[in-house]
Amino acid sequence: MPAVIAALPGNEVGAEVLAGHLNARVIQIAHRRFPDGECYLRFDDELQGRDVVLLCTLADPDPKVLPLLFAAALARELGASRVGLVAPYLAYMRQDMRFRPGEAVTSRYFAALLSRAFDWLVTVDPHLHRYASLDKIYAVPAEVVHAAPLLSRWITREIEHPLLIGPDAESEQWVAAVAAQVGAPYTVLSKTRRGDRDVEVSVPTLSAHEGRTPVLLDDIVSTASTMIKTSHHLRNHGAIGPICLAVHGLFADNAYNELKSAGADRIVTTNTVQHPSNGIDVFPLLSRAIRRRLDQ
Ligand code: R5P
């Protein structure tokens, strides 16, 4: 029986796009809030024996997670054979250790919650720092889509002589991969984070790369403090405004405008999270990963 796709609120456009790629049907979830803030959900379709794919990107996750878990439980109760989650952005990956005594390692709790609700998961470049892979914390099969080839293609098409800059040691793995695909040099900075918006980033050495356009590459832009600090360093050292490229553009509060004011020449993200900066489409790759999952 062909799979059906349902969008949690805010993911309707993505669900139509995926349905087109997968030749699948979109089914509606009726969703509303009761006056007291609790949520109401209803599937109108027959789900007995079907593969149900729920699409929910998880930027600003807390208000989204209960409806998502309820939708998964409901699909199961209505007889779905498997319930899969497509979360183009997977939240709660960054708190991956107890930095101070008594802190919650939320990445593990979040993974446990989702693993209980779903049969499989597909996502794009989760923030893997201290975990080598998602299966260290997720108990269900998780398929990861890598945006690096798309970023490489974008850079090759748009930037003539790029110099790739990774803001911290964690970024080296994939900045190096993108640089190799583009055939461009790269440098990786060191970062110290003292608070959510208080980061120090080392000053890039550019003398060996004169005439090249700096391209800052990161997996996530949240407060944009990392990219803002790096952009200031570049400006202060006479470099041209950098191109800021990220997989997941979360842009908390006024981060996008602040990054523009810091001198970013262009800010481009993939469409894992809907934002005016979206310039790279991950949905064709996502749909292939979903197809592999459905064919298992
Ligand atoms: C951190 O380890 C990530 O790779 C990003 O550098 C970080 O999440 C960016 O956060 P922000 O935009 O708040 O500086």
For ligand 1, the distance from its centroid to the CA atom of residue 191, given in whole angstroms, is 10
pLDDT at 204 over 90: no
For ligand 1, the distance from its centroid to the CA atom of residue 204, given in whole angstroms, is 17
Q: How confident is the model at residue 42 (pLDDT cuts 50, 70, 90)?
A: very high
Looking at residue 212, what is its pLDDT? Answer: 94
Residues in contact with ligand 1 (CB, 6 Å cut-off): 167-168, 170-171, 199, 218-226
Angstrom distances, CA of residue 235 to CA of 184, 188, 264, 290: 21, 17, 9, 42
pLDDT at 173 over 90: no
For ligand 1, the distance from its centroid to the CA atom of residue 222, given in whole angstroms, is 6
Q: What is the mean pLDDT of residues 132-146?
A: 97
Pocket test for ligand 1, best of 192, 226, 273 (most atoms within 8 A of CB): 226
243: Cβ–Cβ under 8 A, 6 or more apart, which residues? 158, 159, 162, 213, 214, 215, 216, 264, 265, 266, 268
Could you tell me the pTM of the whole model? 0.96
Looking at residue 239, what is its pLDDT? Answer: 79
Annotated active-site positions, please? 191
CA distance 21 to 39: 30
Handedness of CA 16, 71, 79, 28 (dihedral sign): negative
pLDDT at 174 over 90: no
φ/ψ (deg, to 5) at 180: -65, -40
pLDDT at 160 over 90: yes
Looking at residue 14, what is its pLDDT? Answer: 97
Structure token pair of residue 85: 């989650």
Looking at residue 295, what is its pLDDT? Answer: 94
pLDDT in tens, 89-106: 999 999 999 999 999 999
Q: How confident is the model at residue 203 (pLDDT cuts 50, 70, 90)?
A: confident
Q: How many CB atoms lie within 10 A of CB 157?
A: 7
Q: How confident is the model at residue 137 (pLDDT cuts 50, 70, 90)?
A: very high
Looking at residue 202, what is its pLDDT? Answer: 93
Q: What average pLDDT does the structure give for the chain?
A: 96
pLDDT at 140 over 90: yes
12: Cβ–Cβ under 8 A, 6 or more apart, which residues? none
Handedness of CA 258, 261, 265, 266 (dihedral sign): positive
Name residue, tokens 């911290």. 168
pLDDT at 206 over 90: no
pLDDT in tens, 230-264: 999 998 887 788 999 999 999 999 999 999 999 99
The H-or-E segment that residue 188 falls in is strand 186-188
Pocket test for ligand 1, best of 222, 232, 244 (most atoms within 8 A of CB): 222
Name residue, tokens 């949240």. 222
Atom of ligand 1 nearest to the CA of 199: 14
pLDDT at 170 over 90: no
CA distance 21 to 30: 24
Residue with CA nearest ligand 1 atom 7: 220
For ligand 1, the distance from its centroid to the CA atom of residue 290, given in whole angstroms, is 27
pLDDT at 51 over 90: yes
Q: What is the mean pLDDT of residues 164-187?
A: 93
